[in-house]
Structure 1
Amino acid sequence: MSKVAPCLWFDGVAEAAARFYASLLPGSQIDAILRNPVDTPSGPTGSVLVVEFTLAGQSFMALNGGPQFPFSPAVSFKIDCDDQSEVDRLWDALSADGGQPGQCGWLTDRFGVSWQIVPKGLLPLLADPGRAPRVMTALMAMGKLDLAALQAA
């Protein structure tokens, strides 16, 4: 387990979100589900309070805390993808069922969490001073990132 783990605050859908995320990447699983021992503002006795899960080897906690604190794009999770097919698969899964595609590889999933779906080949392109301006211009015009188009820029 990680010493530091993000805690994601949900309004009643912590278990569904954790199960969805764990289904997307290897090295992911539900580790524990803790239920409310008494009625609380976030749910009745026996309802899911906390889900501890691992996502690609990183520990997370999902908390059913209530509607007080919605997610914001100010915090997002970046997934480094090995190739375009992984970019496509994750983009499609995370933007489905009410998710919202964004610009430059960003999207918000159906639970309101923001993600950056990034091919591993992007950062070397942006680090190349001769190519970086063209790559950044191409990137700014994209929703889902297209590695071949970025390499061609």
Structure 2
Amino acid sequence: MALINQGEERPITEGQSGQGRGQSEAVQSEERTRRSGVTEVDLEPQEFSLDLSRELSRPEKVRIPERLEPEPEELSSEELQQRRERAERIRTRLQKSGFSVKALMDVSELGSALLQKQKQKVLEQQKVLEQQKQQKQKVLEQQKVLEQQVLDQQKS
């Protein structure tokens, strides 16, 4: 039974082992480079300079513009009229769909109210935990006092 090794054209028989495969791969890569006419020297860059101090240092600052604002355009009266008509059409569509800016504000207020309630709950939970902690400390102090009294009675 003959198996074909990937990357190789000749079949491997069952009796052959994988030993020496590293050597054969190296030989094959050399043969491929000879066939293609490309040598190792061709693959390496001609001039290669590496300045580690520059590579490992902080990068240079990049200027980021504040904001790109388009310059105001001078629109003709026809263009202004078209913009107004378009804006009016959009407003009427929004009104027909039941959308309103007031509804958006109500939603944002609702969100802030929920956030406020959550903060209030967290504060209440913290207070409860603090009270429980104080109660446990008092109980522990009382236990220590009682243990001390028992020890004193046993000594006398």
TM over 0.5: no
Q: Which has the higher helix share?
A: 2
Q: Which has the higher strand share?
A: 1
Higher relative contact order (CA 8 A, sep 6+): 1
TM-score, normalised to structure 1, is 0.13
Tell which structure's C-alpha radius of gyration is larger: 2
